[in-house]
């Protein structure tokens, strides 16, 4: 049984009634935006809410990728007092919706014209049973490569555009005395690199079949074996100290010129921005090698829990409205590294990486190549994602596990899901 189903069962057994702990006129918001760039971004929303006279109770649970935050959220829901809003993404929104725990945002959505404002691919994810239950904050792109231009210059290499070029450039960077690829050995970061390698080496159709549709032939087949082998080779580009390292510490290695590259979603850009650096000058961005015609999207969104108190509902609705207003979309996304969730905004304040992200989002949406990020909870339900993470990380850390065995385990991981 999935953890969420267990949560409902526990709620039913306890005869619990849901009550959020937020006071009237305030919102309690669960998120995991605790790095330098992330905290600057989260603060934008807090300030906007406060400026409208609402209280903000910050419920930040540290831990990149949000796994810990989701565990804490489940236990709060199980004890009958979820926060007013939580960063819940992708298919997991449906899981919470099915439990009947989410509130109905259609009133705000109608008044603000969300249907006309949002791209269909974004709006779809925010609705459960035809009703808006969540509001999108941004669109992150996951398949990015970040680089320190001084390190590249010292090693005499350019930004790589294929996986082979990345391995070659990596070797030169190592010889020049730097860490080729900054990485943090945590399951979600391993999965982030893995999905970009699958995409870069095998293309977006294969990515879709394997990591979105969970087709057993793709998951267990030759292309997956090849992708797993490429992925294992990435270890050669990483340093000994990677185990357990947080993603923003890895980004700092690129910022400080200790490392040449990092494969990470564009929340990494939030760290470069917070450090006062300029895109295209002090740091470089490019699509992860081999993925220039693809875009792994990761949409941050705040889902609202059902509340009974009128004033609390009003505060929630204000939050939902503010999130899609231009002021928030611009200020938040400039700090967060992502692009706005609504495509109608003036992008002149955004840097060259964000401009490229928007152009590539639109191009891949039209021409194909726009795929949901598995590593960031956009492609498959949480229990399947967790099972895939286990395989990816165990394989990555086990020098003796053949890629064929990992591919077989992938098939079982997808089947073992309890839905």
Binding site for ligand BGC (CB under 6 A): 32, 38, 64-66, 140, 267, 298, 300, 376
What are phi and psi for residue 102, nearest 5 degrees? -95, 150
- Any long-range contacts for 408-412 (C-beta under 8 Å, 24+ apart)? 408/220, 410/210, 410/219, 410/220, 410/224, 411/216, 411/219, 411/220
Q: Which is nearer to ligand BGC, 63 or 221 (CB)?
A: 63
Question: What is the closest distance, in whole angstroms, from the C-beta atom of residue 128 to ligand BGC in the complex?
Answer: 19
Q: Which is nearer to ligand BGC, 40 or 409 (CB)?
A: 40
> What are the DSSP calls for 319-338, one per residue?
HHHHHHSHHHHHHHHHHHS-
Question: What is the closest distance, in whole angstroms, from the C-beta atom of residue 269 to ligand BGC in the complex?
Answer: 10
Q: How far is 365 from 347, CA to CA, in rounded Å? A: 19
- Which DSSP state fits 243? B
Q: Which is nearer to ligand BGC, 202 or 298 (CB)?
A: 298
Question: What is the closest distance, in whole angstroms, from the C-beta atom of residue 34 to ligand BGC in the complex?
Answer: 8
- Compute the residue count for the chain: 419
Q: Which is nearer to ligand BGC, 90 or 103 (CB)?
A: 90
Using the structure block, give the residue that is written with the tokens 């990494």: 268
Q: Which residues neighbour 174 within 8 Å (Cβ) at sequence distance 6 or greater?
A: 180, 237
Number of Cβ within 10 Å of residue 39's Cβ equals 16
Question: What is the closest distance, in whole angstroms, from the C-beta atom of residue 382 to ligand BGC in the complex?
Answer: 12
Q: Which is nearer to ligand BGC, 142 or 224 (CB)?
A: 142
Q: Which is nearer to ligand BGC, 246 or 314 (CB)?
A: 246
Question: What is the closest distance, in whole angstroms, from the C-beta atom of residue 339 to ligand BGC in the complex?
Answer: 13
Question: What is the closest distance, in whole angstroms, from the C-beta atom of residue 216 to ligand BGC in the complex?
Answer: 27
Using the structure block, give the residue that is written with the tokens 């792109």: 141
Distance in angstroms between the alpha carbons of the first and the last residue of the chain: 8
């Amino acid at each position: 049984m999935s953890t969420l189903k267990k949560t409902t069962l526990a709620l039913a057994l306890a005869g619990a009634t849901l009550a959020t702990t937020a006071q009237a006129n305030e919102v309690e918001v669960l998120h995991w935006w605790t790095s330098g760039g992330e905290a600057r971004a989260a603060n934008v929303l807090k300030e906007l809410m406060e400026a409208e006279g609402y209280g903000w109770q910050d419920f930040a649970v540290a831990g990149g990728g949000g796994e810990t935050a989701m565990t804490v959220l489940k236990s709060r829901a199980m004890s009958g007092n979820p926060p007013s809003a939580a960063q819940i993404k992708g298919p997991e929104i449906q899981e919470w919706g099915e439990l009947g725990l989410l509130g109905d945002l259609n009133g705000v959505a109608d008044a603000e014209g969300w249907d006309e404002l949002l791209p269909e691919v974004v709006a779809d994810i925010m609705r459960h049973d035809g009703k808006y239950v969540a509001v999108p904050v941004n669109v992150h792109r996951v398949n990015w490569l970040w680089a320190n231009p001084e390190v590249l210059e010292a090693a005499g290499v350019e930004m790589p555009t294929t996986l082979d070029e990345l391995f070659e450039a990596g070797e030169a960077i190592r010889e020049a005395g730097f860490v080729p690829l900054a990485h943090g050995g945590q399951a979600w970061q391993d999965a982030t690199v893995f999905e970009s390698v699958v995409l870069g080496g095998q293309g977006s159709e294969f990515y879709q079949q394997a990591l979105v549709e969970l087709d057993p032939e793709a998951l267990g087949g030759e292309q997956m074996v090849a992708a797993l082998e490429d992925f294992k080779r990435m270890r050669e580009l990483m340093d000994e100290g990677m185990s357990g390292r947080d993603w923003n510490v890895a980004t700092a290695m690129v910022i400080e010129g200790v490392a040449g590259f990092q494969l990470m979603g564009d929340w990494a850009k939030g760290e470069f921005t917070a450090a006062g650096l300029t895109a295209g000058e002090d740091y470089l961005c490019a699509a992860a090698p081999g993925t220039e015609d693809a875009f792994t999207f990761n949409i941050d969104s705040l889902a609202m829990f059902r509340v009974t108190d009128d004033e609390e509902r009003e505060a929630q609705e204000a939050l939902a409205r503010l999130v899609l207003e231009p002021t928030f979309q611009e200020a938040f996304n400039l700090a967060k590294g992502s692009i706005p969730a609504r495509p109608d905004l003036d992008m002149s304040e955004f840097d060259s990486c964000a401009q490229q992200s928007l152009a590539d989002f639109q191009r891949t949406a039209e021409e194909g190549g726009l795929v949901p990020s598995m590593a960031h909870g956009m492609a498959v339900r949480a229990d399947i994602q967790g099972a895939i993470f286990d395989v990816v990380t165990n394989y990555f850390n086990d020098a003796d596990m053949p890629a064929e065995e990992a591919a077989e385990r992938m098939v079982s991981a997808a089947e073992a899901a309890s839905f």
